[in-house]
Amino acid sequence: MTLTSYQYTAASANPEPRPTPQRFSQDALARLSRVDRQLFERFGRGPSATPDFALIHLAFEAHAAARPDAIAVRCAGESITYGELDRAARRLAARLASEGVVAGDCVALFVHRSIPMLVGMLAALKLGAAYVPQHADAAPESQLLHIVETARTRVILTLSTLRDVVPVPAGHTSIAIDEFLRDAPQHEPVGRLRLVGPDAVAIGPDTVCFVLFTSGTTGKPNGVRVTHRNLCNILLTDPGRLGMRPGVTVAQILSIAFDMAAWEILGCLANGATLLIRGKNISETAEQADVLIATPSILATLDPQRACRTAVVAVAGEPCPTSLAQRWAAGRTFYNACGPTETTIVNTMQHYEGGRAACLTIGKPTPNNTVYVLDAALAPCAIGETGEMWAGGDCVTAGYVGNDALNRERYVPDPFLGGGRLMFRTRDLGRWTTDGELEHLGRTDDQVKVRGFRVELDAISTVLEAAPGVTRAATLPLNTRDLIAFVTPGGVDTDQALQHVRESLPYYCVPARIVAMDAFPLTTRGKIDKRALLAADVAPTPPARETPLCPDILALSRRELPPPHGWWRRLFASPALSHYHRLFALVVVLNLLLFAHAATTGEWWREHGAALGPLQNAVIANLTVAILIRQQYVINLLFWIATRAPVSWPLPVRRMLGKVYHFGGLHSGCAVAATFWYLILFASAVHLAVRGVSGPSPAHLAVNGAILLLLALLVVMALPAIRSRYHDAFERTHRFGGWAALLLFWVQSLMFLDDEKVAQTLSDYLLFAAPYCCLAAVTASVMLPWLRLRRVRIRIERPSQHAAIARFDHGPRPFAGSSTSISRSPLTEWHAFANIPAPGEPGFRLIISRAGDWTGRFIDDMPEHVWVKGITTAGVANIETLFRRVVYVATGSGIGPVLPHLLAKKVPIRLIWATKNPRGTYGDALVDEILATQPDALIWDTDAHGKPDLLQLAYAMRESFDAEAVICIANRKLTQRVVTGMESRGFAAYGAIWDS
């Protein structure tokens, strides 16, 4: 048998136009005013356009004939040309024909993303059959069996790697596409396929090209029949074409079971573009594509700054936040679109150009389509009135497979177009704006979008009610990612019920949690009170793969926080009176007392001149404390001493010792005091020089002036407002300015020694005089970290564009709670990150998140080597051993300083971690590691659930866990809110500060 024996002739290679009335039926518009009638028709009708082809695969074949050597698809390092893809599809079509597949049949396509997947799609289309796609890895066996039975397939196309998960009922043939392509003859002459058999029917625009199964109200999905006319109308006209053409690359990132995947795949191949099929990393594919089609949830995980090549973006499937649209609309063409599967991918689109004044809507009807906003009696609503949106025109699909009752309910005669046409009930609420665009205002039924997939809540409840022991069930959405289900009676095994849902429905239909209750709350009309259900349970629940939110904690978090204590407690808990500022004030007061002594009984200023020696000693003493208090060994010693206190000591004492990390107050206070004394020293020296009294030489005065200017510059650059705004300048000023000042101090000291004509020898003075011993200690402190400078190899994992995990194998394993400074340019930049040693394993990790230019470049470039220096240094969380139980509150990459303490398990800990898309940002491995050591951790996905009230959660967790302290690792604003809020209510709370 040769391939040329199978040929087909399409009913028409050119479009078969269907006459469209020039005007809507005026009888149907009778209730509207004259102006509203005109606007209802003008707004509700899309432009007229004629697609270039009537059958979608003919558009592909035209490009295969014209440009056979052009790359059609790239996937996992492989590629296939248009000519090769066309020949492969013809060979598989011949095999399908030999199995008895003819036009009008359905062919199951149970695969995952791959080139053979595309061959299967095109092979079915070439025969006039409809492919029925499912992502086999994500669909339960029961759903695949239901689809096979409902669609009445004869053949199941799959992949060799999926044979174990794809069921093959009796009477069906399973073909592994990849094996067939490998084993089939490659060089037989390939002609045009023809339909054989007595049941063959002509292929025309109204032939079904694919059947997509969506959630159904009976608990089983319904198959929507999409025709060639439907598909060509959106993919071969503008704006649905999205600029796809030869030379353009299109990302394929969505599940084949999702109707928008046809937009990516067939839209690309029918317009001659190149399809980029993604692997595990969506962002890598998106960054290489000119055209990107996604749900808003997926788009939110990508970085528009990295997608420099992407020129056109289209989103649909769920409501798009305006902020997301604005980020992506800058510098590229952005479409916000809407439409259920029954209206062929999308039937309205808005070209959103961004800007503050721009209003994000779902746009206007696409070509050859209509949209009507109707009331409950199917009468047209006036412009601006809210009603239910109905869709008409060439987008309306051919109905559901084998569900006549639902067809009659959702597909009804179109009174506006007439001529036997149907319109589809979307169950979406909307209204027209004065600009003729549609605003989407929610749903009229229990149908919601979850992770971009349409889900009918009743369908999930129906499945739950078939679970063992369940009598009633209700399912509710928590957000666009998660569902929660309630069942009665209260003794139901919820784990067993959850497993029943997993075996019956796709993953996106599985509730994040099931709550068993004795009885449901009811409204006055006897219906389930859904608001009361949610109120009786908890606030948003994180995804099932994360961790369930503890009901006890969240029940407490719904309570009002206790009021702060009296004004005096609030005063001492305020940031202005923190221990940092108290230490700063103590240093200032001590120096002022010394100044008062010097000006009175000390007689540092006498009639014949000033005693410059004591002034210099005051400068050196303050400077020594300021620098040594920041030396790594000193810091570690301070923490070690403070944490020696056993937990049997009184809590007030341990709470005070926990404030050891405020030692920066000594650093800042002494630095300011040293500058103050140096100003007095310089003024005194100038005074002596002006009076002509024996004093410092002019050279000495010049050095003094230079030191004073450097010290003043260092103090000014360290002011919090300036340092936070000009951080890089602050770092460089303190590094190079500090070194210069230290060098000048040595010069000044030696010059002072010469000016004073000291009787001791130079060596004795340098060895035994206190000022010079202090200078030597300061110099050694500054030099010591640089003596440990070295360039080391690192291994970097990048779970997302927002974070990287760097692994180090050099040197001894650091202690939990320490930090390491790293650099790519040692003289100009250093950045400290928390070490994450794993117990019993060599080396350590650092978590680096995108928080500025340096971290952004680090994540993008992923260097193989970095510089390290200094000694691993203790951080604020080391105080945990002072307390019996501790609650950690972290946001984003703040999990880095917390994770080593979770792994070390020195004290009982509870964790609250709020971050954007935890698994998507930091990777499954890190999240699983956290949950393995902290099963009770509360991981809050801010993408899915919004920003939590961390103060309220911290209070609730402290109450539930009976913790003695809360340690917060977050940004400055959040840390201050949590620490101040807890301390003003009498609870111990700690957090890193930025003033020192």
**Other beta carbons less than 10 A from residue 556's beta carbon:** 17
d(CA 73, CA 78): 8
Burial of 584 (0-12, 13-18, 19+ CB in 10 A): buried
Angstrom distance (rounded) from CA 990 to CA 232: 62
pLDDT band for 189, please (50, 70, 90 cuts).
very low
pLDDT reported for residue 280: 82
Q: Is the pLDDT of residue 4 over 70?
A: no
Q: What angle do CA 217, 220, 226 make, to 5 degrees?
A: 90
The answer to which of 152-161, 181-190, 521-530 has the lowest mean pLDDT is: 521-530
Quote the pLDDT of residue 238.
95
pLDDT (mean) for 57-61: 96
pLDDT at 547: 44
**pLDDT recorded at residue 228:** 97
CA distance 725 to 261: 45
Report the C-alpha gap between 871 and 832 in whole angstroms: 11
Percentage of the chain surpassing pLDDT 70? 84
Query: In CATH terms, is domain 788-874 a member of 3.60.15.10?
Result: no
Judging by beta carbons within 10 Å of its beta carbon (0-12, 13-18, 19+), is residue 937 exposed, middle or buried?
Answer: buried
Residue that has been written with the tokens 């050279």 in this structure:
699
Residue 250 forms beta bridges with which residues?
A: 275, 291
CATH fold, domain 56-186+201-431, is Rossmann fold (3.40.50)
CA–CA separation, 226 vs 206, rounded Å? 9
Q: What is the rounded average pLDDT of the residues 739-746?
A: 85
89 pLDDT tier (thresholds 50, 70, 90) = very high
Q: Is the peptide bond before 799 cis (omega within 30 degrees of 0)?
A: no
Average pLDDT over residues 340-346: 95
pLDDT band at 2 (very low <50, low <70, confident <90, very high): very low
pLDDT for 11 beyond 70: no
Distance between CA 105 and CA 103 in Å, rounded?
6
**Residue 392 predicted with pLDDT over 90:** yes
Task: Classify the phi-psi angles of 188: left when phi > 0, otherwise alpha if psi is within -120 to 50, otherwise beta.
Answer: beta
Residues of the chain with CATH 3.40.50.80: 880-991
pLDDT at 86 exceeding the cut of 50: yes
Instruction: Provide the mean pLDDT of the chain.
Output: 83
Q: Is the pLDDT of residue 199 over 80?
A: no
- Do β-strands 483-488 and 472-477 pair in parallel, antiparallel, or remain unpaired? antiparallel
Q: Report percent pLDDT > 90 for the chain.
A: 33
Q: Name the more confident of 225 and 818.
A: 225
Domain 880-991 class, CATH top level: alpha beta
**CATH 3.30.300.30 in the chain, residues?**
447-537
Cα–Cα dist 726/202, whole Å: 72
Predicted pLDDT at 632:
82
Who has greater pLDDT, 253 or 764?
Answer: 253
Q: Provide the residue count of the chain.
A: 996
Q: Which amino acid, 478?
A: L
| pLDDT of 113 higher than 90 | yes
pLDDT-derived band at 217, boundaries 50, 70, 90: very low
Contact call for residues 663 and 581 (beta carbons, < 8 A): no
Q: Could you tell me which residues come within 8 angstroms of residue 900 by beta carbon, excluding any fewer than 6 positions away?
A: 816, 817, 834, 835, 836, 837
Does the pTM of the predicted model rise above 0.75? Answer: no
Give the Cα separation of 958 and 968 in Å (integer).
Answer: 12
Inter-axis angle of helices 770-787 and 738-756, nearest 10: 150
Work out the pLDDT band at 204, boundaries 50, 70, 90: very high
pLDDT, tens digit, 9 for 90 and up, residues 305-325: 999 999 999 999 887 878 788
Lowest mean pLDDT among 56-65, 116-125, 464-473, 573-582: 573-582
Q: What is the mean pLDDT of residues 488-499?
A: 88
- The string of DSSP letters for 113-169 reads SSHHHHHHHHHHHHTT-EEEEEETTTS-HHHHHHHHHHHT-SEEEE-GGGTTTS---
Give CA–CA dist 523/530, Å, rounded.
9
Within 600-642, residue ranges assigned H as helices are 612-628, 632-642
Instruction: Confirm or reject CATH 3.30.300.30 for domain 447-537, answering yes or no.
Output: yes
Q: Looking at residue 474, what is its pLDDT?
A: 85
Using left for φ > 0, alpha for ψ between -120 and 50, and beta otherwise, residue 699 falls in alpha
Q: Which of these, 581, 675, 573, lies nearest to 622 by C-alpha position?
A: 675
Backbone angles phi, psi at 656, to 5 degrees: -65, -40
Rounded CA separation 716/734 (Å): 11
Place of tokens 């404030």: 659
In the prediction, which pLDDT does 10 show? 46
State phi, psi for 461 to the nearest 5 degrees. Answer: -65, -40
Pinpoint the residues of the chain covered by CATH 3.40.50.12780.
Answer: 56-186+201-431
Confidence at residue 801, expressed as pLDDT on a 0 to 100 scale? 79
Q: How many CB atoms lie within 10 A of CB 810?
A: 13
CA distances from 349 to 228, 286, 341 (A): 20, 21, 15
Tell me the CB-side half-sphere exposure of residue 346, using CA atoms within 13 A. Answer: 32
pLDDT band at 365 (very low <50, low <70, confident <90, very high): very high
Distance CA 472, CA 492 (A): 11
| Lowest-confidence region among 568-582, 623-637, 785-799 | 568-582
DSSP calls for 674-730 = HHHHHHHHHHHHHHHHHHT-S---HHHHHHHHHHHHHHHHHHHHTSHHHHHHSHHHH
Tokens 């010591």 belong to 784
State the average pLDDT over residues 758-765. Answer: 52
What would the mean pLDDT of 379-395 be, rounded to a whole number?
A: 92
Q: In the chain, helix, strand, coil percent, each to 5?
A: 40, 20, 40
* The pLDDT value given to residue 799: 84
Beta bridge mates, 477: 483
741, 714 contact by CB (below 8 A): yes
* 274-277 vs 71-75, strand pairing mode: parallel
What is the SS3 assignment for 985? coil
Which tokens go with 344? 């062929």
For the ranges 140-149, 442-451, 502-511, 662-671, which has the lowest average pLDDT?
Answer: 442-451
Q: What is the pLDDT of residue 542?
A: 43
Q: How far, in Å, are 274, 330, 592 from residue 595 at the CA level?
A: 78, 60, 5
Rounded CA-CA distance 456/404 in Å is 19
pLDDT in tens, 654-689: 988 988 877 778 888 888 888 888 888 888 878 777
The model's pLDDT over 598-647, given as tens digits with 9 standing for 90+, comes to 777 766 665 545 567 788 788 888 888 888 888 888 888 888 898 899 98
pLDDT at 367: 96
pLDDT the model gives residue 389: 95
Q: Given this model, what pLDDT does residue 96 score?
A: 95
pLDDT of residue 765: 54
